[in-house]
């Protein structure tokens, strides 16, 4: 029963995760991985094997997986549509039946959205400050945030000052350094 509980819990994770054998055949994957592979954007299941949609990259993926050891390693492939990369993190999983590999994969392009744990609660941000912070995390300038949220630039700057004060930082660089541990 514990293995079923672990699998059920892991299935709720929004990050695509899979365990594959040495021939890239999936042994297990969570719902996020199944959904990503069904989209057939950059990676897919082809004849029961984890494959790149662009066959020119299949050898590189296979080499990456075969080269994984017990230390977590990374690998990236360009997306077919030119919008970022597919990022892979892989690690060999020790098992008496053979070599297995745990993989995490996701796209880095415009559809990527970083998730952070309860920044509003941790730093006691108002709802408006939290919305501004989310825009800042998305890389928007104060002017763009003002336009996106349909508030004045003065209001946006006031929220940014309050965010900096509550997070005890003096710059965007400091802000990103401060929230890094809360990234999920």
Whether the CA torsion 135, 136, 137, 138 is positive or negative: it is: positive
> DSSP per residue over 29-46, as a string?
E-HHHHHHHHHTSSEEEE
pTM: 0.72
d(CA 160, CA 79): 34
d(CA 78, CA 10): 27
Please count the other Cβ atoms lying within 10 Å of the Cβ belonging to residue 33: 25
d(CA 27, CA 33): 12
Quick one: pLDDT at residue 109?
Answer: 78
Instruction: Report DSSP state, residue 116.
Output: B
* Phi, psi dihedral angles at 92 (to 5 degrees): -70, 140
Strands 26-29 and 73-78: unpaired
Question: Count of residues for the chain?
Answer: 184
pLDDT digit string (tens) for the chain, length 184 residues: 577 777 778 778 788 999 999 999 999 999 999 999 999 989 999 999 999 999 999 999 999 999 999 999 999 999 989 888 999 999 999 888 889 999 999 888 777 777 888 999 999 999 999 999 999 998 899 999 999 999 999 999 999 999 999 999 999 999 999 999 998 7
Quick one: pLDDT at residue 1?
Answer: 58
């Amino acid at each position: 029963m514990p293995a079923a509980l672990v699998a059920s819990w892991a299935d709720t994770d929004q990050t695509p995760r899979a365990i594959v054998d040495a021939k890239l055949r999936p042994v297990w994957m969570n719902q996020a991985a199944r959904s990503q592979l069904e989209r057939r954007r950059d990676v897919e299941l082809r004849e029961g094997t984890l494959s790149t949609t662009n066959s020119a990259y299949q050898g590189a993926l296979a080499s990456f997986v075969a080269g994984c050891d017990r230390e977590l390693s990374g690998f990236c492939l360009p997306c077919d549509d030119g919008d970022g990369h597919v990022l892979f993190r892989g690690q060999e999983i020790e098992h008496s039946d053979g070599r297995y590999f745990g993989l995490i994969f996701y796209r880095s392009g415009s559809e990527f959205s970083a998730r952070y744990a309860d920044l509003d609660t941790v730093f006691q941000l108002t709802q408006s400050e939290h919305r501004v912070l989310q825009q800042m995390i998305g890389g928007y300038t104060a002017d763009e945030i003002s336009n996106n949220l349909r508030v004045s630039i003065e209001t946006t700057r006031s929220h940014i000052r309050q965010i900096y004060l509550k997070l005890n930082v003096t710059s965007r660089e400091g802000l990103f350094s401060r929230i890094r541990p809360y990234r999920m």
